[in-house]
Structure 1
Amino acid sequence: MAHHTFDADRAGSLEDAGRRYRVLSAEELRWALELSPEDTVVDLGSGTGFYTDDIAPHADEVYAVDLQPEMHDFYRHKGVPPNVDLVTTPVGEMPLDSDSVDTALSTMTYHEFATTDAIAEIHRVLRPGGRLVVADWTADGEGQRGPPRSERYSLAEAAATLEDAGFTVEFEADRPETFLLVATAQ
């Protein structure tokens, strides 16, 4: 599927902590990631760095990957932590070494890149046993927030796609508007 990206002209709205933390809190994200101070992390579709900022203090190095240079411009203006490298590229074409990342996360962006090639690329950069955390708008959800329903995936669809790509799903939570999925690369 993989459809349009978030409108960069509305980047400021991604900084609304009240709205963002209602669907995924910083504490829940850190719980799912299980970071250690030595970890290398890639934030897939990092946007303005809202969630990147929550994890940067708990990791050694973070790659903030986003397709849109305007999102990185916004992040630079806001202030990028010293251990965060901005990488402007599609998720399916990351310029990272194979087996070089401990943890990858996607917060409300999976629907934007969820192609076979992008999932294979995530698997390529993760070390064996590396963790992938996906929180996204569910196709089965209630409410009007998020992308059009036709561009969303259900938890079951996302889990099946990851398992087909060589991940083992460790945790699943289906919520009214979103889902949370934790998987490890095999």
Structure 2
Amino acid sequence: MGFHTYDPSRADNLEDPTRYQYLSVDELLALFDPQGTVADLGSGTGFYTDHVAPYAETVHAVDVQDEMHEYYREKGAPDNVEFVVAEIADLPFADDQLDGAFSTMTYHEFASDEALGELARVLRPDALLGIADWTRNGEGGEGPPTDERYALQDAMDALTDAGFTVEHASERRETFVLRARR
């Protein structure tokens, strides 16, 4: 799959509350333990970051596009959110620095052996990774085209190959969610 990013000129669309039909805040929080220092992988405008921030000491909002961070700054970010411009395959964190990480509808944008290996490097042993993304088995009415998506089993296999243990996985109509432990 080719690397691509979300068009920053459409950033307002990422603030649409109808996104909760695909992933509720409670479901996101149940996927990983947002305590200590965590990272939002592909944070965009901070739509879900805002909901995680009250539970964590620090949330690193990681995005490859500084334009998304600019939007988030203008919107107003919680005080414990730190902005990081980086690709997931090249994170500026020390080994075992993060207590957890999550990705909401961005796994398909960064999934690679290099990126998953980098996540395994920066997450401390026993840390949780929560992922919600569009499934290849969906109808494709929302989100990216189905040929740009991953099937749940493919994501599970890739994470297992990177040294994670998948503890929970569920595929739904258009999305999948999974929780993996380093």
TM-score where L is the length of structure 1: 0.95
| 8 Å contact kept, 2:133–2:175 | yes
Alpha-carbon distance in structure 2 between the residues aligned to 1:59 and 1:35:
5
SS in 2 for 1:50: coil
The gaps in structure 1 that reach 5 residues or longer are none
C-alpha RMSD over aligned residues: 0.9
| 8 Å contact kept, 1:41–1:62 | yes
Match of 1:70 in 2: 67
The offset of 1:80, in angstroms, is: 1.2
The counterpart of 2:86, out of the listed 85, 89, 94, is 89
The gaps in structure 2 that reach 5 residues or longer are none
Alpha-carbon distance in structure 2 between the residues aligned to 1:88 and 1:165:
23
Structure 1 residue ranges, 4+ long, deviating more than 2 angstroms after superposition: none
1:91-122 deviation per Cα after TM superposition (whole angstroms, max 9, x unaligned): 11111111010111000000000011111111
Structure 1 residue 20 corresponds to structure 2 residue 2: no
Alpha-carbon distance in structure 1 between the residues aligned to 2:4 and 2:123:
25
| 8 Å contact kept, 1:139–1:149 | yes
Structure 1 residue 111 corresponds to structure 2 residue 108: yes
Match of 1:123 in 2: 120
Alpha-carbon distance in structure 2 between the residues aligned to 1:116 and 1:2:
14
Identity %: 53
The offset of 1:142, in angstroms, is: 2.1
The offset of 1:43, in angstroms, is: 0.3
Give, as a single letter, the amino acid of the residue that structure 2 aligns with 1:88.
V
The offset of 1:143, in angstroms, is: 4.0
